[in-house]
Amino acid sequence: MFARKLRALPQGTFTATAHGRRYVVTKSSFADGRSVKLVAEELGGPDYISLNWYDLASGPQLRPCEMSDQKVRAFVDAVQPEP
């Protein structure tokens, strides 16, 4: 479910909402989508999300950048790109 939601997010930079807050989000994909980097910065607030996700032969690997898996999973689950 996490990988599906992450892949469904738009490529590039976009604004989005999550948990009642607005963010500027940048998603970059590499290696035919088998590697994804996502960074989100809260607009007008201190929240920051950063993660790398890898679809490896040994199984998917989530690598949050200096934050918990739970925080990045909750963000990806809640984030909604703005029209």
What tens-digit pLDDT sequence spans the chain (83 residues)? 899 999 999 999 999 999 999 999 999 999 998 999 999 999 999 999 999 999 999 999 999 999 999 999 999 999 999 99
- R_g (Cα) of the chain, nearest Å: 12
Cβ partners under 8 Å of residue 35, min gap 6: 29, 52, 53, 54, 55
**pTM score of the predicted model:** 0.94
Report the alpha-carbon angle 44-6-82, nearest 5: 45
DSSP alpha helix (H) spans, 1-83: 2-8, 69-78
